[in-house]
Each structure stands twice: as structure tokens, then as C-alpha cells.
A and B are shown apart, each in its own frame.
Chain A
Amino acid sequence: MSMYRGVATPYVHDEIYMPPLACAAHASHSLRCITGLPDSLVDVDASRLALSFYCIGSLDILDVLNEKVNMITRNEWRKWFWEQQTSGPHGSGFKPSSFMTGQGPASEFVQSPEYSCPHVIMTYTALLSLAILRDNFAGLDRRGIVAFLRGCQREDGSFRTTPQGTESDLRTVYCAFAISSMLNDWSGVDVDRAKAFIASCRTYEGGYGQEPSCEAQGGTTYTAIASLYLAPRSEGEEPLTAAEREQTIRWLSSNQDESGGFRGRTGKAADACYCFWCGAALRILGRDDLVNGLALVKFLDRCQFKFGGISKAPDEHPDPYHTYLSLAAIAMYPPPLGESGSNTSWHLAPIDPLLNATQATARWIRDHVP
């Protein structure tokens, strides 16, 4: 079947009835994952903090955090996040969990600074999680974080995930930029070098690959675009040339396929997470009006799992990552309320597409980071 030719979908008009979004079930799914994960998910051991962010973030977008979680528990969560802040010879930041922290005699812990070091992606998600929990950030080692970022940047402008590690790609560039923006301090980042790295990941299709010479992909294209628009710039300076901008808009919008969902690469099947990655990138570029929002939510509607949570595609199993990103996509592209107001359950907390959090949370962190 042709990729372009779709079944004609009803175009947005005033009264569109959607079955209600299963908000309560999605909240329960997130809470269940926070309570505990089966051993079959052991591969998130080294990224548990990010998974926790997706769960808490879902509650934030659904605007049910205070209602579903009492203050005592929220304070315990905050304590857990702070416990993941770690300092060492390479500065400060957050580690994924205590997966490399040993239990010492008495109650103290034992960890090697070299193998229990902060991680760029975890630091970004920890800051957002603490902002969702409305922390006052009194415990934040701001100078340590700046030093940590500086230690992670490589010669080619990209960032390692950890100061001693060797993994690096476009995603970590975004996290470093988002952290710098949240701290309102860019001294840990050589912005020009990082921008040159981003530019080297651009492909002939108009998207960005994970590293230079890789195929254009929705997630990494989001991180590239968000980074370019987060970065400080002099007056009149544009993050992209007009031609680049149009080409990227074209590629992004061509990824909305006949299912209504977005795919991550040309010719692949639609996947719920790309509804966020491509949809948010278009919003940053000021062209969210080009998304067929109704077809998008209808696709995500079909991705809902009957016992809560949202999966990457219809009839797959849900996970916190796809649940969070789908909710964020719905929040950006809600179906019209209509005269009867039937679609109110689909209207969620407004999103800041640059930081990938609710606007209230993004505002909180900018106002409260000391």
C-alpha cells in the first residue's frame, strides 16, 4: 500500500465525539509502576530514575498528583530523588538509582565515586521530577552540576552520559542544554561546539540522526530542534536557516501516516512516542497547526491498554515511557471540546515543548532553582 495515500479522515469540525480518555486507569498504571516493577523489567535497573520521571510526569500531566498521592509520600519521593544526587571528582549530578550503591555496616552506604557517578540523562529527569514535586531545590549543588556538564563534553561537542564513560550522542546534548537552561547557567557548555555537533547530525531528509552519519529519526530530531531553540542566541540570530526550517517541517509532518499516528523514520509504522517527539518539534518550530490533531488523538485512543497505561501501538503492552509521551502529545493536541463539552477528559495540563514537562512544572523550576 502506498505510504501517502490514507483513508480519508473526517476533518476537524465542531462536534467530534471521543470516548473519554481513561485518566484514572492511566494514573493507576503510573502508581503501580512506582510501587514496584516485576523482575522481567530488570533492564531498567540502570535508568530507574528516568522511569520514575515518566510515572510522576504522567500524574502531573493528568493533574492528579496531589489528589492521588499524599504529602508524606510525596516528601518521601523527594527524599529518594535527593538521595540519587552524588558528588565526586567530576562534579555533581544524579545517578539512576542505588544499583551501584552498596549497603555498608550500620546504615551508611558504600560507593565508588568512579562507578556510581552522576549521569546526564538522569540529572535532567531528576530536576524535572523534583520540580513536579514542587521541591525548593535548597539541596542542589549548582556549581557541581555545571562542573559535571563541563566534564562530560567531548572534543566533537557531544556529551558523554557519565564523565568517565564513552557513550555519547544527540540525546545527551539535549539533556545538557535543558539542564543549563533550567539552571540559567550555560558556563558548563561550549554552546558553539555542541551546535556544530548537532549540525553534523542533520540528514538530507531534514531530520537528525543520533550521531553524525545516522538516519533521520523522530526522537533525535526533537532533541536537536529543542536544543537549538533552548540555546542562548544573539538578537536576530535564527537557530535554523529558512530553508532548513521548511525542510524539517516537511519531514516532520510527512511522518504522520494514515493511522493518524507519527512514525519515527520514513517508511516505518506509527508509534505513540513519536506523536510527542514529532508533534513537540513542530510546536517548537511554531507549526503545530499543521498536525492533524484529531487523527492523532484517535490513534492514541486506540493505543490505550484496557487495564491502564498506553502502549506504542494498538494491541501492544503499555509502559511508563509511552504512557507519559502519549499523554504529553494529547495535552498538546486535544480534540475540540465541542458544544456539549464531551471531550473534557482529553484536555490535560498544558505542555512546555522545550523542556518536555507541564508549563507549571517548567515555570516552577525556573523560579525556584536557587
Chain B
Amino acid sequence: MAKPTKPLYSSLDEWVDVQPLEQYEKVNPLAPIFYTDEYKDATSYFRGIVKSGEMSPRVLDLTEHIIRLNPAHYTAWQYRYRTLMSIKAPLDVELKLMDELAVKYLKTYQVWHHRRLILTETRDPQRELAFVEESLREDTKNYHTWSHRQWVLSHFNDIDLWRGELDFLDTMFNQDIRNNSAWHHRFFVVFQSGVREGEEDRERVVRRELTFTKQNISFAPNNPSAWNYLRGVLEFNKLPFSTVTTFVFPYTQPTDPEAVDLVDLDNPPPSKQAELPCPAAIEFLADIYESEGGESLLKANQLWKSLADEHDTMRKRYWEYRIKESLQKGST
């Protein structure tokens, strides 16, 4: 059993004026928790406080205590927030505390939600992006952390906040080019959050994104996140996949030991160590052939068949489905 972190409220003179309310359990409960005395005591005092409606500095101590024992206690969070507002507590102090709790309870929704509520009040997001970057160090794919960053950016929508996003992403990609959360964030920043100053020339932006993606594929071809991003960029900008056929083709071929290193920024070739052919490239090329229709359907079918039988047998059924669908479409 966990060691108590504090003396029980029932033993403290400062709390003697509060009438604790024990938890009600009349009917045999389902999945009862064998609470520690510490939790039982703290939540009894909390129920008592909620009943009396008291909002005071000591309520902040009590709710912090409960949150540390159970960070998913949403009512403790809710009551804490209202108390903060009611007594006009200094919110920078609250944010400091949240810095600690966010890292401690990284996967608890409420920790991040509370942070949002506080920031909505302070309207001061200046240190927020650095904080997110710091806490991503603990878990580079944490869903709540990334959503928090996306919320900060879109809620405050401040050009100074947006400005550093691509550089921030570069550092994330340098650590792990397969981090899909970073790829998703890039799509959100570049395409799904409006057009900001300096990014008005959309053709240039699309060119930049295509170059970026191709380059990263050439370093690490078997990266589904990068291929999904490539699809996303083309689809979002209504460009046919065939725009990048020349780039994709070499990735569908076996590794060529004779290949010479050539510098082609538009179509960077796979590195010599690359594991080829790359299934994502084969799928991509098959999609290109399928959209061409006619004679090309046959080529698409061959590629899907090679995925089904050789390169991606786990998803054999999916590739066979693609073959069947295309034959049906082709015959109507």
C-alpha cells in the first residue's frame, strides 16, 4: 500500500471546521476500489467542501492533493478551476504547478485540459511552445502533448507563434523521421491552418513540401508516414499522383548495385543501402496506373499482385480487393 504523503485532514486543526462526507455505498457496489486511508480521508473532506461550497486557498491544497493521488478525478479539477477563478489566485503559479504535473501524468487528459483553461484565462502563450517541446522529450508521440501544441497555435493564432514551427519540426524529424505525429503536425501547420504571411505563394509552398518529402523518402524509403504525407500534399492541392511518377519509379525496383550517385533535387534517388523495392512505392505507382486506366490497369494489377504475394503478404486480402475493384470498374 502506498505510503501517505500527508497527515490525514481529520488529524489537522485547520480542517476541524469542515464536516467530512464519507462516500455513500448502499447497494453492493461493482468494482469497488480498496482506497487507501489517505485517499478516503482527502475525498471525504473534498465532498464536505463541495457541499458547503467553500472556495478558498486551502481548497487548492486539498484538490492538488487529490489530483496527485488520482489525476483523473475530473470533479477535483473542475472544482479547483472554479476556486482559482473565484479567489483570483495567481495563474502563473498554477501554470508552474501544471508544468510539473503534465510531465508526471503525461497520459491523463485532465492535466492538459486544465492547462488549456488556464491559458484561455491568462491569454499569454509565450512560453507554451517551449514547454511542449520540453515535454515531448519524455514521449515524442504523446497524443495529448501534440494536441496541446495544435490547440495553442490555432487558439491564439499569433504569427509569432507560428513562425518557428517548421524549425521546431526539423529538430523533431532529426530525432526520428518516422514520427507520424510530427508529419501530421507539419500537414496541419502548412495546409490546414490558413495561409500566413510569407506563405502566400502556394505553388512555392507545395514545391517546398514535395522536395522535403522526396528528400526524406530518399534517406529512408520504408517510412509510411512520409508516403502518406506525399499523398496528402498531392490530394489536398488537387495534383494528380502522376506528378511524381519519375520520382517514385526507382523505388519500385530492386536495389541497383551499379547505381551512381547523382544529384537530382526534383527526383532524389534511393540511397544505396535502401531496402528495395519499397512496398509503399509499389502501392503508389499502382495508384498512378489505376488512374490512367485502360492498358495501364494491367500494370496496376501486376503491382498489386506482387504486394499480395511477396512484398506485403499480411495485407494480401487488401491487395486482392484492389485488383477485384479495378477489374469491376474497368468492365463497366
A interface, by DSSP: helix, strand, loop or mixed?
loop
| A5 CB–B CB distance under 8 Å | yes
A2-B222, A203-B184 in contact; A213/B317 too (CB < 8 A)? no
- In the complex, the chain B residue whose C-beta lies closest to that of A264 is B143
- In the complex, the chain A residue whose C-beta lies closest to that of B235 is A204
The contact string, 1 if C-beta is below 8 Å from chain B, for chain A 99-140, is: 111111001011110010000000000000000000000000
- The reply to whether A3 and B23 contact each other, CB–CB distance below 8 Å, is no
- In the complex, the chain A residue whose C-beta lies closest to that of B313 is A8
Residues facing A in B267-306 (CB within 8 A) are 275, 278-280
- In the complex, the chain A residue whose C-beta lies closest to that of B181 is A215
Q: Which of A107, A110, A291 contacts B51 (CB 8 A)?
A: A110
- The reply to whether A254 and B224 contact each other, CB–CB distance below 8 Å, is yes
Complex CA–CA separation, A39 to B43 (angstroms)? 14
B150: A residues at CB distance < 8 A = 213-214
- The reply to whether A205 and B228 contact each other, CB–CB distance below 8 Å, is yes
B interface, by DSSP: helix, strand, loop or mixed?
helix
| A345 CB–B CB distance under 8 Å | no
* Closest chain A CB from B228 CB (angstroms): 5
Residues facing B in A166-210 (CB within 8 A) are 166-167, 203-205, 209-210
| A216 CB–B CB distance under 8 Å | yes
A2-B279, A213-B192, A267-B180 in contact; A39/B36 too (CB < 8 A)? yes
- The reply to whether B78 and A267 contact each other, CB–CB distance below 8 Å, is no
| B65 CB–A CB distance under 8 Å | no
A204-B231, A290-B317 in contact; A48/B31 too (CB < 8 A)? yes
Complex CA–CA separation, A248 to B228 (angstroms)? 12
Q: Which of B31, B192, B224 contacts A36 (CB 8 A)?
A: B31
B1: A residues at CB distance < 8 A = 39
Complex CA–CA separation, A3 to B177 (angstroms)? 13
B311: A residues at CB distance < 8 A = 4-5
Complex CA–CA separation, A6 to B25 (angstroms)? 52
A36: B residues at CB distance < 8 A = 31-34
- In the complex, the chain B residue whose C-beta lies closest to that of A98 is B24
- The reply to whether A165 and B70 contact each other, CB–CB distance below 8 Å, is no
Q: Which of A4, A107, A115 contacts B26 (CB 8 A)?
A: A107
Among B39, B146, B147, max chain A CB count under 10 A is at B147
| A253 CB–B CB distance under 8 Å | yes
- In the complex, the chain A residue whose C-beta lies closest to that of B79 is A115
Complex CA–CA separation, A205 to B192 (angstroms)? 13
| A38 CB–B CB distance under 8 Å | yes
- The reply to whether B33 and A204 contact each other, CB–CB distance below 8 Å, is no
- The reply to whether A42 and B69 contact each other, CB–CB distance below 8 Å, is yes
Complex CA–CA separation, A311 to B78 (angstroms)? 32
The contact string, 1 if C-beta is below 8 Å from chain A, for chain B 213-253, is: 00000000011110011011001100000000000000000
A11-B316, A213-B154, A295-B314 in contact; A97/B29 too (CB < 8 A)? yes
- The reply to whether A112 and B279 contact each other, CB–CB distance below 8 Å, is no
- The reply to whether A267 and B32 contact each other, CB–CB distance below 8 Å, is no
Complex CA–CA separation, A129 to B136 (angstroms)? 38
- The reply to whether A291 and B312 contact each other, CB–CB distance below 8 Å, is no
Residues facing A in B103-162 (CB within 8 A) are 108-110, 113, 117, 141, 143, 146-147, 150-151, 154
| B28 CB–A CB distance under 8 Å | yes
* Closest chain A CB from B285 CB (angstroms): 14
- The reply to whether B232 and A76 contact each other, CB–CB distance below 8 Å, is no
| B206 CB–A CB distance under 8 Å | no
Complex CA–CA separation, A103 to B30 (angstroms)? 18
Q: Which of B31, B43, B312 contacts A33 (CB 8 A)?
A: B31
B212: A residues at CB distance < 8 A = none
The contact string, 1 if C-beta is below 8 Å from chain B, for chain A 125-160, is: 000000000000000000000000000000000000
| B74 CB–A CB distance under 8 Å | yes
- The reply to whether A166 and B224 contact each other, CB–CB distance below 8 Å, is no
| B27 CB–A CB distance under 8 Å | yes
* Closest chain B CB from A60 CB (angstroms): 14
A5-B279, A55-B31, A256-B315 in contact; A214/B143 too (CB < 8 A)? yes
- The reply to whether B72 and A100 contact each other, CB–CB distance below 8 Å, is no
* Closest chain A CB from B263 CB (angstroms): 26
| B196 CB–A CB distance under 8 Å | no
* Closest chain B CB from A97 CB (angstroms): 7
- The reply to whether B224 and A76 contact each other, CB–CB distance below 8 Å, is no
- The reply to whether B24 and A213 contact each other, CB–CB distance below 8 Å, is no
Complex CA–CA separation, A368 to B143 (angstroms)? 39
- The reply to whether A215 and B143 contact each other, CB–CB distance below 8 Å, is yes
What are 13 contact pairs spanning A and B, CB under 8 A? A3-B178, A4-B280, A9-B313, A39-B1, A45-B73, A99-B23, A100-B50, A102-B47, A103-B23, A204-B187, A204-B191, A214-B147, A215-B146
New contact pairs (14) apart from A48-B33, A99-B43, A109-B26, CB-CB < 8 Å: A2-B278, A5-B279, A5-B311, A33-B31, A45-B70, A80-B27, A115-B78, A164-B78, A167-B110, A211-B147, A215-B143, A268-B141, A290-B318, A292-B315
